[in-house]
Each structure stands twice: as C-alpha cells, then as structure tokens.
Amino acid sequence: MTDSITLTTYQKSNLEKIIISTPDSVSGIVIGGRWEAVVRLLPASNVIIVTDTNISGIYGKRFPRFPVLKIRPGEDSKRLKTIESLAGKLLNSGIDRSGFLLGIGGGVVCDITGFLASVFMRGIRFGYVSTSLLSQVDASTGGKNGVNLGETKNVIGTFRQPEFVICDTTMLRTLPDDEYSSGLGELIKTGIIGDRSIIEILEDNYADVLKRNRDILSVLVAKAVRYKASVVAKDEKESGLRRVLNFGHTFGHAVELHDGVKHGFAVASGMMLAATFSRNKGLLRDDDFNRIMHLLKRYNFPTEINMDPAKIESLILHDKKKAGSDINFVFIKGFEKPLIKKIPLQEVIDFYRQNLKGN
C-alpha cells in the first residue's frame, strides 16, 4: 500500500463526488449530476471527444463543441489497430501534449480513451462521461485502461486515472435491455464482495430497478463506486487487494470470449461457478449460496454453463491473473468476505469438469 493514496467522498444535495488521490493524479467521480455540465471541466481548446456511433446518434447534438472521433460500438473495437487509427487522427488534428481527450460512452469507449490518452505523446489528460451502467459501476472507475489481444481480454493496457468521471443515471434510460442487465451483473458482483446493502436494495426494489428509477440507480452507482474507489485507493496497481474485484472473472472472461455474450452476463455465470467452487470447498454456507443463486435467477442471469472443458482450459490458460501454473482465484466466504487464494490452474479445470459436466 502507498501511504500517499487517499480517498475522499462528500455530498451536496443529491450530488456525490468521490475523489481518489494517488501520487500521480487526482480523480473525481461525480454521481447524480447532469452530464452536460462536463463542459465546465474541460479546457477552452485542444479537446477531442471519443465516442461510438450509437452514443453519437443519441446524444451527439448535445456534445460540447469540439471535434469528435467515432468508433464502432462493441468489444471488437478494443484492439491496437483502433488505438493506432485514433492516434493518427489526433496527430493530424494538431493535438499536442497539452491536449485533452473526453470519452463519452460505455466501458469500451472509456477503455479506449484512457489507453489512448495514456500512450499518446507519452500521456495527455483525459476524462469520461460514463453512459452505461456497467461503465458507471465498474469500468470507468479505477484507472485500468486496456485493449484485447486475440482471445485474451485487456492484456495490453495501462494504469492511469482519469481527471474526472461523470455518472448521470438519466443516461441509463436509453440503454438497450441487454446492456442494462449486463451492468446489473457487475453491480451484483460488487454487492457480494464489498457492500451487502447493494444486494438488499436489488432484492427489495426489483420493480423499480427494472424501471430504471433514477434515484435508486444513483444510490446503487454511488455505493458501487465508493466501494471500488476504496479498494483502488489501497491498491491502485492490483498487487494484492484489488484482485477481489475479479470475483467471477476467471470463468467469466472465458464465457465472454467463447459465447460472445455481454460482459455482465459472463461475469454472472462466472460468479455462479465461483460461488459453487466456494461452497464445495466449505467456505460458503448454503443459505448464502442459495441467496446468490436466487438473485441471479430473479434478474434473469444464466445459472448453467455447458462449455467444453478443453475450451475453458485453453481460455483460462491465457488469463492475465495466471502466475505460472497457478492462478489467483477469488473465492467468497460470505457477503463482503472475498478470499484471494493462489491455487493450481489444474484445480480450477478439475472443478469445472467434475461439477459442471456431471463427471
């Protein structure tokens, strides 16, 4: 842990701002404000906006008056070729080291914007308007920026904090249903590992959550960001504690790459497997396990996986959490009780073969 990393949070009416201070940067995450206020946080010039064609079609007319670079929506854009193309356009536009990148979009746009800003001219300033639930509760907070290489997710990347993130939950009303549900998957993950009150809100306010009630979503996003920010403040570079945020991701990334499903759905499948693994090891009580399964089913997440064990093994072998023949696997001992344990990769594969394939 670095002593100079601090976390501050304060509220004003229905607006909450969470500040993460690291030795190299200060990042402010604003929840509850309107996204159009971003113009007050930007330089007067030398700004480029990065977005995707979907977001541009919905909100583009209200963007600040700066040049816009558009990418195709979806995970396929998270490639080095996209970074190279955008960097060339930045260079041609005259952006220099005093430039600023504003990413307006979901997790893919934020990842690409953060990565591009981190490497262009060895680093320029950047910030986000986070437009998806997945991005607001997870992807845009914490300073991890990455792109995929082949079948391996986020294996090329940087750690660098945005200057600000704006999370306006009114923007979630325009999300397609599957994108919204994907964000709920990551929200459930945060509730399981870090803040059980998120689970209670999701259980007690099912109808309002599905209706995308702005007030409830603002509370949920703030709780998720507050927890993740507290973890990042203690372990910015993922050398220890921050690994708890990977709960459900070892199997989840394999499912995402194999089946092409949205990230949150894949993580939900991975959480189901991780919870089962935890219960089988005697770490997780049956009542907590059943509560997790019931919540996943209620929000229509799949609770069965039938991937070929050989394919699961192949994909997990490329997981960046791997350490030689071992992997840092995130178990749970109960709500708010994640456990990081280095175990042989073969044990993970054997668990899948024995418990999910009926062998």
Sequence-separated contacts (24+) of 171-175 with Cβ below 8 Å: 171/35, 171/59, 171/129, 171/131, 172/132, 172/133, 172/136, 172/212, 172/217, 173/212, 174/58, 175/131, 175/132, 175/133
pLDDT bin (cut points 50, 70, 90) of residue 317 is: confident
Output the average pLDDT for the chain: 90
Q: Where in the chain is the domain with CATH 3.40.50.1970?
A: 6-234
Question: Where along the chain do the CATH 1.20.1090.10 domains lie?
Answer: 247-356
The answer on pLDDT for 45 being more than 60 is yes
Q: What is the pLDDT of residues 240-285, one digit of tens each?
A: 888 999 999 999 888 887 888 899 999 999 999 999 999 999 999 9
Please state which architecture CATH assigns to domain 247-356. Answer: Up-down Bundle (1.20)
- Which token pair is 48? 């480029």
Q: Which amino acid is at 210?
A: L
For 207-230, the pLDDT digits (tens) are 999 999 999 999 999 999 999 988
pLDDT in tens, 75-100: 899 999 999 999 999 999 999 999 99
Give residue 67's pLDDT: 97
The whole-number pLDDT of residue 8 equals 55
How far, rounded to the nearest angstrom, does the alpha carbon of residue 337 sit from its chain's CA centroid? 20
Residues above pLDDT 70, as percent of the chain: 94
pLDDT computed for residue 9 by the predictor? 52
Active-site annotation, residues = 122, 144, 186, 228, 238, 242, 246, 249, 253, 263
pLDDT above 60 (res 11): no
Does the domain spanning 6-234 belong to CATH 3.40.47.10? no
Instruction: With cut-offs at 50, 70 and 90, classify the pLDDT of residue 2.
Output: very low
